[in-house]
A and B are shown apart, each in its own frame.
Chain A
Amino acid sequence: MSLDIKAIRSHFPIFQRETSDGVPLVYLDSTATSQKPLAVIEAMNNYYRRSNANIHRGVHTLAEEATALYEAAREKIARFINAPSARQVIYTRNTTESINLVAYTWARANLKAGDLVILTEMEHHSNLVPWHMLQAERGIELDFIPVTETGLLDLDAYQTLLARSPKLVSFTHMSNVLGTINPAAEIIRMAHEAGAVTLVDAAQSVPHLAVDVQALDADFLAFSAHKMCGPTGIGALYGKAELLESMPPFLGGGDMIKEVKLRSFRANSLPHKFEAGTPAIAEAVGFGAAVDYLASVGMDNVTAHEQDITEYALERLEEIPGVKVFGPSAQHKGGVAAFTLEGVHPHDVAQILDKDGIAVRAGHHCAQPLHEKFGIPATSRASFYLYNTKEEVDLLVNGIYKVKELFG
């Protein structure tokens, strides 16, 4: 089934605006953050208009309603990734915080000097820096699954690394620069055979692919609402129950405790053990609405639509002289096209495209080591989501020709 894009676009109020007089918005930056459908905006508005109260601590009507909404959203998110139970979905601020939560709790309780953590060369800074910090603090070792010339992970090299008995393999499910969709189930299976725990950075996969944590057999999986039609300020960490149970708490404070004495505390049960203080309640409600929205469209439809656009975009971009697109062919790739244009800095490309209302991102996209690997300081990146069209790809291509002319 193909998506009714016109209907989908009408669900997103932002597409009614122009970036300047008569210039409609061509939003090709969903990898950074997605736009929000009315259903999400309304869910959050309604929460503030009707149900706003603090959760888990009042018995009055509003407190009960707010708590129910907050927890119902968790159930929806759990179903969306096929988690066995909503207790295994911890609310965080974003993917970055989810990864840090694992680094601060599980890793600090389980890793000692010399223990090996395997990452990949295509990681976002959020799955590098927490481990650099732990390395400085604990003396853990880091090694990296190499990225091949075509932008895929080198699984033979991975197999070799596994012989060194890593404690953790933490990797991105989908690269936010190359677009590479990594074979997560296989990477996890291999890690488990070597006795390692796994953490999946699913910031780019959960928004664009049907992700099933049980089918993947993931130990931890991290994602952000804002990249999947939801609000900023909220994300999630999924974890296997026995791991989450055994981990020390993260931040200390209200809500995460069962009992507090002057000199001691007992931690609350899952998921509250990891949710200290008043959380982002309206955002959780918005997150639930985002998941409802995506589920109603159907993730397989979202993926198929993006695949279609991406194939077309790669074809059109590659026919422009001087353009080089990074990453694998469309079949291994999500809706991301990071490219360089010979002789023009990505910032200039993005700025000139912006005059035509075309929003692309320029820079290293929080993946500096990956850019270094390919010997480039920066790229321009166009990314696609369920609301993008082939006509928008054409506008992008025309825009790039304009840039070429200007810098001719």
Chain B
Amino acid sequence: MDDLYREVIIEHYKNPGYRGHLDPHNIFFADNNPLCGDHIEITIQINEDETVKDARFDGHGCAISQASADLLMEFIIGKPIEEVKQLNKQDILDMLGIDLGPVRLKCALLSLKVLKAGVYGLGEASDSLVE
């Protein structure tokens, strides 16, 4: 358990730095994990030069889903949108520093799925975005 619930995860869950809502924003997207009802929504502001100016998430769910959203927001600020589009499953696992079974992986990847659906301007967030 100490590996799965590393201090960094508990810390980001309890005291997230990037929870909130940006207004105005260039990108908004929201989705749920139907399995457990986790909900994540993101708002993003983009600079002229196509880099991320600021990013926030909101929602509710387990420590894994909320901590990974917070870590992800922290990670993308300042990054070019093109780079954000390339993020994948392994990047999230590296941020969390853990390995996850198939069920919890869905929790961990929810924020990335929402983020990618948002930056690609898709109507729907599909699992294939984060394979």
Interface residues of A (CB under 8 A from B): 344-348, 351-352, 355, 362-364, 368, 371, 377-378, 406-407
Is B60 positioned at the interface, with any CB of A under 8 Å from its CB? yes
- With CB as the reference atom, state the residue of chain A lying closest to B101: A351
Contact across chains for B10 and A406 when beta carbons are under 8 A apart: yes
Partner of A345, one of B1, B35, B61: B61
B10 interface neighbour in A363, A364, A378, A407, Cβ under 8 Å: A407
Indicate if the CB atoms of A363 and B35 lie closer than 8 Å.
yes
Expressed in whole angstroms, the minimum distance between the Cβ of A49 and any Cβ of chain B is 34
Q: Which residue of A lies closest to B61 (CB)?
A: A345
The 8 Å CB contact of B5, one of A348, A364, A371, A377, is: A348
Complex: A246 Cα to B107 Cα, angstroms: 49
Residue of B nearest to A372 (CB): B37
B79 at the interface (CB under 8 A from A): no
Q: Is the CB of A378 within 8 A of B14?
A: no
| Contact call A407/B14, Cβ cutoff below 8 A | yes
Q: List 8 A-B contacts (CB under 8 A).
A: A344-B63, A345-B60, A348-B62, A352-B1, A355-B1, A368-B37, A377-B36, A406-B1
List B contacts of A351 (CB < 8 A).
Answer: 1, 4-5, 62, 104
A residues less than 8 Å from B104 (CB atoms)? 347, 351
Of all chain B residues, the one with the shortest Cβ separation from A343 is: B14
Contact B36 A347 (CB under 8 A): yes
Known: A345-B63, A352-B1. 5 other contacts (CB 8 A): A346-B62, A347-B36, A347-B104, A351-B5, A352-B5
Query: Are A345 and B62 interface neighbours, CB within 8 A?
Result: yes
Q: Considering the chains assembled together, what is the distance between the CA atoms of A347 and B13 in angstroms?
A: 13
* Minimal beta-carbon separation of A305 from chain B (angstroms): 31
Chain A contacts for B36, CB-based, 8 A? 345-347, 362-364, 377-378
B residues near A377, Cβ cutoff 8 Å: 36-39, 60-61
Contact with A along B1-44 (1 / 0, CB 8 A): 10011000010001000000000000000000001111100000
Chain A hits for B61, CB < 8 A:
345, 347, 377
A407 to B4, CA, bound (A): 13
Check: B73 CB closer than 8 A to any chain A CB.
Answer: no
Q: Which residue of B lies closest to A377 (CB)?
A: B37
From A352, A363, A407, B37 is in contact (CB under 8 Å) with: A363
With A and B bound together, what is the CA distance between A398 and B78 in angstroms? 45
B84 within 8 A of A: no
In the complex, whether B64 has a CB less than 8 A from a CB of chain A is yes
Contact B64 A348 (CB under 8 A): yes
Instruction: Give the residue among B35, B37, B38, B107 with the most A Cβ atoms within 10 A.
Output: B37
- Interface pair B62/A347, CB less than 8 Å apart: yes
List residues of chain B with CB under 8 Å of any chain A CB: 1, 4-5, 10, 14, 35-39, 60-64, 104, 107
CB–CB A406/B5 < 8 A: yes
The complex places the Cα of A335 from the Cα of B4 at a distance, in Å, of 30
Cα A364 to Cα B38 in complex, Å, equals 11
CB neighbours (8 Å) of A363 from chain B are 35-37
B residues near A348, Cβ cutoff 8 Å: 5, 62-64
B14 cross-chain contacts in A, Cβ below 8 A = 407
Closest A residue by C-beta to B39: A377
Q: How far is the CB of A355 from chain B (nearest CB, A)?
A: 4
Nearest B residue to A347, CB-CB: B62
A199 to B3 Cα, complex, angstroms: 48
Q: Across chains A and B, which 10 residue pairs bring their CB atoms closest together, nearest first?
A: A377-B37, A345-B62, A347-B62, A355-B1, A348-B63, A348-B62, A363-B36, A378-B37, A347-B36, A352-B1
CA distance A41 to B112 in the complex (A): 44
Name the CB-closest residue of B to A345.
B62
Query: CA–CA, A406 to B13, complex, Å?
Result: 12
Cβ distance A102 to chain B, nearest Cβ, rounded Å: 26
- Smallest Cβ-Cβ distance to B37: which chain A residue: A377
A310 to B97, CA, bound (A): 39
CB distance from A51 to the nearest CB of B (A): 38
Q: Which residues does chain B contribute within 8 Å of A368, judged by CB atoms?
A: 37
Chain B residues with CB under 8 A of A406: 1, 5, 10
CA distance A348 to B61 in the complex (A): 9
CA distance A115 to B60 in the complex (A): 39
> Given the complex of chains A and B, what is the CA–CA distance between A407 and B36 in angstroms?
20
Docked CA distance A344–B61 (Å): 9
Least Cβ–Cβ distance between B42 and chain A, in angstroms: 19
A21 nearest CB across to chain B (Å): 15
Most-contacted residue by chain B among A348, A362, A363, A407 (CB, 10 A): A348
